[in-house]
Amino acid sequence: MIIKIIEKVYKSLNKQMREKYNRHVSFGDLFTDRWATAKMYGFGEGTSCYDNTLIMGNVRVGKNTWIGPNCVLDGSGGLEIGDYCSISAGVQIYTHNTVNWATSLGTESIETALVTIGCGVYIGPQSVIQMGVNIGDKAVIGACSFVHRDVLSGTRVWGVPARVYMDKNTRIVRR
């Protein structure tokens, strides 16, 4: 009986979502509010975070930041995200790795390092940010990029590995 009730509520919420926003979202996102989820984690005012985002460890997020669906926010080594950022769908931000632990058969420890992301940063869909990286204010990370080095403020990077293509003065650096 409870399954029938849940199915009915699910279908109703799904229909409302399609009619209002012309979109389909995960089951959890139909039943939760993105702004309430962000508030529950202590993120800044006006920040939203989809229910299907994995959040672990010490993650601090400023105000008016959008965290898209299917993201990984690993705060094992500390993760700080500024105000007015756009963290696109599928972005993975890591503050730890288990390479030495795994290859040493557990004799080495798990490595951690803080990741900081400034204010006004755009991170494109499916990008991966490695532990220890600092991204400056108003930087742009292109879609599907692998960022393993610091990115200066106002710089635009993309690729695997991410390379600087435009500096803070919007001069083309590479073609």
Instruction: Provide the CB-side half-sphere exposure for 18 (13 A, CA).
Output: 7
Is the same domain home to 67 and 100?
A: yes
pLDDT tens profile 24-56: 888 888 888 899 999 999 999 999 999 999 999
**Whole-angstrom distance, CA of residue 54 vs CA of residue 24:** 19
Is the same domain home to 79 and 23?
A: no
Asked whether residue 89 is domain-assigned, the answer is: yes
Is the same domain home to 153 and 70?
A: yes
Is the same domain home to 26 and 37?
A: no
Is the same domain home to 93 and 12?
A: no
pLDDT tens profile 80-98: 999 999 999 999 999 999 9
Is the same domain home to 2 and 50?
A: no
Is the same domain home to 10 and 64?
A: no
Is the same domain home to 74 and 14?
A: no
Which pLDDT belongs to residue 64?
Answer: 98
Which pLDDT belongs to residue 26?
Answer: 84
Which pLDDT belongs to residue 25?
Answer: 85
Asked whether residue 118 is domain-assigned, the answer is: yes
Q: Show the domain range for 4.
A: 1-31
Asked whether residue 171 is domain-assigned, the answer is: no
pLDDT at 175 over 60: no
C-alpha pair distances (Å), 80 with each of 17, 110, 130, 146, 151? 32, 20, 13, 19, 15
Asked whether residue 66 is domain-assigned, the answer is: yes
**Regarding beta strands 156-158 and 163-166, do their DSSP bridges make them parallel or antiparallel, or are they unpaired?**
antiparallel
Asked whether residue 69 is domain-assigned, the answer is: yes
Give the mean model confidence (pLDDT) for residues 70-78: 97
Is the same domain home to 147 and 85?
A: yes
**Regarding beta strands 96-97 and 122-123, do their DSSP bridges make them parallel or antiparallel, or are they unpaired?**
unpaired
pLDDT at 20 over 70: yes
Asked whether residue 77 is domain-assigned, the answer is: yes
Is the same domain home to 40 and 16?
A: no
Is the same domain home to 55 and 112?
A: yes
pLDDT tens profile 103-157: 999 999 999 999 999 999 999 999 999 999 999 999 999 999 999 999 999 999 9
Q: What is the CATH number of the domain that holds 148?
A: 2.160.10.10
Is the same domain home to 17 and 68?
A: no
Give the mean model confidence (pLDDT) for residues 66-70: 97
Task: Tell me if the pTM is above 0.75.
Answer: yes
Asked whether residue 3 is domain-assigned, the answer is: yes
Structurally, the chain folds into a number of domains equal to 2
Which pLDDT belongs to residue 170?
Answer: 59
